Amino acid sequence: MTSTSYSTVYPLASRGRRIPRVLSIAGSDPSGGAGIQADLKSIAANGGYGMAAVTALTAQNTRGVTGVHVPPVEFLRQQLEAISDDIAVDAVKIGMLGDTAVIDEVRRWLEKVRPAVVVLDPVMVATSGDRLLRESAETALRTLLPLADLITPNLPELAMLLGEPEASDWATALDQGKRLAAECGNTVLVKGGHLPGTECPDALVNTTGLLRQDVVEVTGARVHTRNSHGTGCSLSAAMATAQVRHGDWEASLQEVKPWLQQALATSGSLEVGAGNGPVNHFHHQEHVLTPGEYAAQLWRDASPELQAIYGLDFIRGLQSGDLPEREFAYYLAQDALYLNGYSRVLARAGALAPTEAEQLFWARGSQQCLEVESELHRNWLAGRNAEAATGPVTKSYVDHLLAASASGSYAVLLAAILPCYWLYAEVGQQLHGAYVEAGASLEHPYADWLRAYADEDFAAATRQAIDFTDAAARAASPAERAAMGEAFAWSCRYETAFFDAPRLHA
Ligand SMILES: Nc1ncnc2c1ncn2[C@@H]1O[C@H](COP(=O)(O)OP(=O)(O)O)[C@@H](O)[C@H]1O
Ligand SMILES: Cc1ncc(COP(=O)(O)O)c(N)n1
């Protein structure tokens, strides 16, 4: 290995670089929430190119640390030199160091390479309370502080570095921050995460005149969540990245803090672990659906199918009265068979429903299907000569619904269920409207059937089914939403085919 580093050969100012090259020197958290894993996500989420030299391996998850292994420091040296021999490092973030030997190794490398931006997160104890730095290494860590541009201790770490009790209010924390900043000659980021209250302030503190004033506070609302695993790691890595672009700590914190707050606010969607879960680094890349947006998209997707339905001989014949009785009877018989299957599928939606209101709605829908089925037999099919065997379209449509119900996804099942409500309600309203407009003649052969279409209860149930599907889409993952679209599209095709089946199979 050569002893000259890339940055001593090319000491180009890296400030303003569009994609900062940021190195994390930190421990590994295999559960992905803290350490180098969090740093790499944080650097990428903030527009940087992330690199990582591993100081220590931990065995941990969201509930705590079960083991720490610090490999020989010679190998850390090899990692660091492999990077700086080849790559210009715009910023360094330092996290868990583990023991004195590691601290000394990092110090040697920093003194040789002198990266333009150094952020040091003095990791000592994990959120879970487990030690990540040997007690004997605390003095060594203090000697590393002056080599950093920004130090980001949490309140327990700030107190330990000063040898004082932990601050229990913001004013005391800022006071401690000032003393540490004066002692080290650099900037301290005092973090309010460990204090109670609805606000969660952070402050940059520097007593040498680097900032516009000694204390620059950036406030933000506190997010009510347990998912705070790796917030400190994520913040310091993001600050290192933003600082390369801005060259201004205040501008960097103004940019990073709202990002981290949103990462905390949306952390629930990750569903990682049973303890203090990780934050959602890439929340800004997700398209957040607004209420009604997904339903509107489904309706646009259904439009060609709806046009196809209005063009069918069956619908035209039902409206004009020219529909052969044999085809109408076939349709009614298939409808009764379909409703029996649909009832089972709605019951399954009730079983998967996340709320009692939804459970009740689908259970009621399931019961009503059976009531309509028996009414069809009693009032409409009695006296008609209709085929009682399940037709091919009925079979395929019900099988499709049963497959969706077996998928186990409530959202996908609802997407499969919805066209039967929505398209049927739409077509029914259209046919009824046209019937009334034409004079609502009782002479019309299908007058009773067309009059039954104007059912306000069914229209209300349809609106409710649309809302539940829309809400389920908002809670679903992108992959699940794609499956929803597919399930919905197939049901729309089956709706069309169902209206066309009498012509082909009666
Ligand atoms: N509940 C919360 N809501 C909003 N921001 C928070 C919350 N908890 C921590 N933060 C922010 O996360 C960052 C890390 O803070 P802190 O929890 O104090 O440090 P650490 O993770 O090192 O223990 C800070 O910017 C802090 O303001
Ligand atoms: C490898 C490693 N580095 C740092 C932390 C601290 O993170 P936090 O205090 O947010 O749990 C951690 N738990 N693990």
| Domains of the chain, start order | 19-285 (3.40.1190.20), 293-505 (1.20.910.10)
CA 328 centroid distance within chain: 48
Q: Tell me, using a 6 A CB cutoff, whether residue 232 lines ligand 1.
A: yes
Does 491 or 128 have the greater pLDDT score?
491
Q: Tell me, using a 6 A CB cutoff, whether residue 194 lines ligand 1.
A: yes
Please give the average per-residue pLDDT across 126-146, as a whole number: 92
Mutation to probe ligand 1, out of 119, 231, 254, 262 (largest number of atoms < 8 A from CB): 231
Q: Tell me, using a 6 A CB cutoff, whether residue 193 lines ligand 1.
A: yes
DSSP E strands, 40-185? 49-61, 64-69, 91-94, 117-120, 150-151
Give residue for tokens 């599928």: 345
Band (pLDDT 50/70/90 cuts) for residue 375 is confident
Q: Tell me, using a 6 A CB cutoff, whether residue 223 lines ligand 1.
A: yes
Over 50: is that where the pLDDT of 7 sits?
A: no
Which of 45-54, 242-251, 448-457 is predicted least confidently? 448-457
Q: What is the pLDDT of residues 15-71, one digit of tens each?
A: 668 899 999 999 999 999 999 999 999 999 999 999 999 999 999 999 999 999 999
Residue 383 pLDDT: 81
Residue 76 pLDDT: 98
Which residue lies with its CA nearest to atom 6 of ligand 2?
Answer: 126
Which residue lies with its CA nearest to atom 12 of ligand 1?
Answer: 231
Q: What is the pLDDT of residues 227-239, one digit of tens each?
A: 999 999 999 999 9
Over 90: is that where the pLDDT of 382 sits?
A: no
Residue 116 pLDDT: 96
Please give the average per-residue pLDDT across 490-505, as a whole number: 97
pTM metric for this prediction? 0.67
Which residues line ligand 2 at a C-beta cut-off of 6 Å?
Answer: 26-29, 34-35, 58, 95-96, 123, 126-127, 132, 229-233
Two tokens at 445? 């052969």
Residue 435 pLDDT: 93
- CA 193 / ligand 1 centre spacing (Å): 4
Report the largest interatomic distance among the alpha carbons of the chain, rounded to a whole angstrom. 100
CA angle 137, 110, 140 (to 5 degrees): 15
Residue 16 pLDDT: 67
ipTM field: 0.98
Beta bridge partners of 120: 94, 151
Residue 111 pLDDT: 97
DSSP-assigned letter for residue 48: P
Average pLDDT, the chain: 93
Atom index in ligand 1 nearest the CA of residue 156 equals 23
Please give the average per-residue pLDDT across 421-426, as a whole number: 94
Does 171 or 288 have the greater pLDDT score?
171
Of the candidates 164, 210, 395, the residue with the CA atom closest to the CA atom of residue 153: 164
Band (pLDDT 50/70/90 cuts) for residue 13 is very low
Residue 42 pLDDT: 98
> For the residues of 404-456, what is the DSSP string, one character each?
HHHT--HHHHHHHHHHHHHHHHHHHHHHHHHHHHTT--TTSTTHHHHHHT--H
Over 70: is that where the pLDDT of 272 sits?
A: yes
Residue 2 pLDDT: 39
Q: What is the pLDDT of residues 84-106, one digit of tens each?
A: 999 999 999 999 999 999 999 99
Residue 194 pLDDT: 95
Over 80: is that where the pLDDT of 364 sits?
A: yes
Residue 3 pLDDT: 41
- Roughly how many angstroms between the first and final C-alpha of the chain, as a whole number? 83
Which ligand neighbours the alpha carbon of 65 most closely? Answer: 2
Atom index in ligand 2 nearest the CA of residue 229 equals 10
Which of 72-81, 129-138, 158-167 is predicted least confidently? 129-138
